A = this chain, B = another copy of it.
Amino acid sequence: MSKSKLASFFAPRSVAVVGASATPGKPGRTVIENLVANGFKGKIHPVNPRGGEICGFAVSETISDLPKGVDMGIVMLPAAQTPQAIADCAERGIQSVVLAAGGFAEVDHAGEDLQAELKEVIERTGVRVLGPNTAGHISTPANFTSSFFPLGDIPKGPISYIAQTGNFTGAMMRSIMSGEHYGVARCIGLGNAVDIDEADILEFLADDPETGAIFVYLESLRRPQEFLKIARKVTKKKPVVMLKGGATEDGAKAAMSHTASLGSDDNILDGALKQAGVVRIDEFTHLFTAAKAAAMMPVPAGNRVGFVSPSGAFIVHILDICKQRTGLEFAKVTSKTQKRLGEISPPFINITNPVDVFPSATVNGMEFAWREAMTALLKDPNVDSIVTILILADELGEMKLDFIVDQKKRFPDKPIYVSFSGDENSNAAAKAFLEPKGVPTFPRIEDPFKVLDIMTQCRKGLAKG
């Protein structure tokens, strides 16, 4: 395949929206609104037999009426019309096409035939196609998206997603944008992957300077050997984290009717992914929580955690969780750190890591206790990362969290993750303060440890290089 053609998917100079609509709420209009909202600098050419104007852009009645030099087509037509549309695009010189429509091999035999026809026209014309059955893709460095889900301006950041479900550039992206404070670089909904597949995209992201970490949701691998070969190289440079849908027989059956995916033997795949340095996860939610950590904090140098907790119960529970489900260990701190933790605690209490910070907070106030305990751990060479759980509530007095932002600057190689117990309104305010400054927060006390475990596994791959 030609790399240059794939590159134009992520930085088109101009785009035709085939099946554009003037009606608010219709996907054929939303896709244009998204382009405008993201400040796409190329030209936008709606195509609709009725002509006229849509969102202020002059409408071409057919693909052949388009001006020359358009390099991408977003085709919003019903499935049956897409093979012809691709042929028309090819004729007009458009070499990259996104196909939104569903109704292909994922539904029935007629759809299978249509998908075969699609393949034939792709091979004949050489047009590169993303989809069908996808909500499109996103490329924030180019201020571009082909998504027809109402997204608005998508925040820029280092995370790229490869997803074998259209929804990822739809509702799920909206969920990230409205609920979190990290941004994305490239986000690709592969859909049925009739042409462009996971290996193509991974290869592009491998050398993409905008992509710092890659998160993957796949229900099947079209070209497993190729994907693994590329992955072996990529994982030495950037984290690659993957959720594989269809790990069980039931799940695999559902994947068949979702994206016409034929599952591979999951156990074999599991071993091969591990060997390639791909970190496999088992919850959809981690595609967001771990991505946030990867966007905001460095990959930890090792598995030795420092934990500052306001509750002995949390320490007990987290020790259990970490032992049972993670490869994390709690750092054995140096005598210097031990001494400092003693200094900030009431005399009768022997504090080590994990740090029960409550006695110190009772004597010294919350801000002092948390800050000094965290600083002592951050300074310790035996500590690779820090997790803290804050207790916030208006009545407890204001706890200024600037010190955590300062610590991030002072110790740029050690990730700091924050979670909460206490008043949910105060927690929301703390999240809104910390995350735009690059400190990730997690609503549940187990989250930071699950995420740290994922990111620590990424380090193993990186260390190989």
Contact = CB atoms under 8 A, between A and B. Distances in A.
Interface of A: 25, 30, 102-103, 106-108, 110-111, 150, 163-165, 167-168, 171-172, 174-175, 178-179, 217, 219, 243, 245-251, 253-255, 257-259, 282-285, 310-317, 319-324, 330, 348-350, 354, 356, 359, 391, 393, 395-397, 420-425, 443-446
Given A171-B310, A248-B323, 8 more contacts: A107-B348, A150-B393, A171-B422, A178-B424, A245-B316, A245-B317, A246-B320, A283-B446
A343 to B, nearest CB: 17
Given A258-B316, A313-B164, A423 B178 contact: yes
A246 B316 contact: yes
Nearest to A247: B320
A30 to B, nearest CB: 8
Contact of A313 (B258, B395, B423): B258
A354 B254 contact: yes
A370 B133 CA distance: 21
A420 B248 CA distance: 24
A108 B30 CA distance: 66
Contacts of A393: 150, 171, 174
A362 B171 CA distance: 15
B245 A285 contact: no
A168 B421 CA distance: 10
A219 B313 contact: yes
Contacts of A250: 319-320, 322-323, 330
A335 B226 CA distance: 44
Contact of A254 (B103, B316, B391): B316
16 contacts: A25-B396, A108-B349, A111-B348, A150-B396, A167-B310, A171-B421, A174-B422, A179-B424, A245-B317, A250-B320, A250-B322, A250-B330, A254-B312, A254-B354, A282-B324, A443-B443
Among the interface residues A106, A245, A259, which one has the most CB atoms of the partner chain B within 10 A?
A245
A282 B321 CA distance: 8
Contact of A284 (B30, B179, B317, B330): B317
Contact of A425 (B165, B178, B219, B356): B178
B172 A319 contact: no
A428 to B, nearest CB: 9
B395 A446 contact: no
A370 to B, nearest CB: 14
Given A108-B348, A320-B245, A285 B445 contact: yes
Contacts of A324: 247-248, 282
Contact of A255 (B164, B246, B316, B350): B316
B422 A243 contact: no
B395 A316 contact: no
A259 B171 CA distance: 45
Contacts of A102: 359
Contacts of A425: 178
A314 B164 CA distance: 12
A253 B323 CA distance: 13
Nearest to A245: B316
A423 B172 CA distance: 9
A445 to B, nearest CB: 6
Contacts of A30: 395
A395 B25 contact: yes
A354 B253 CA distance: 12
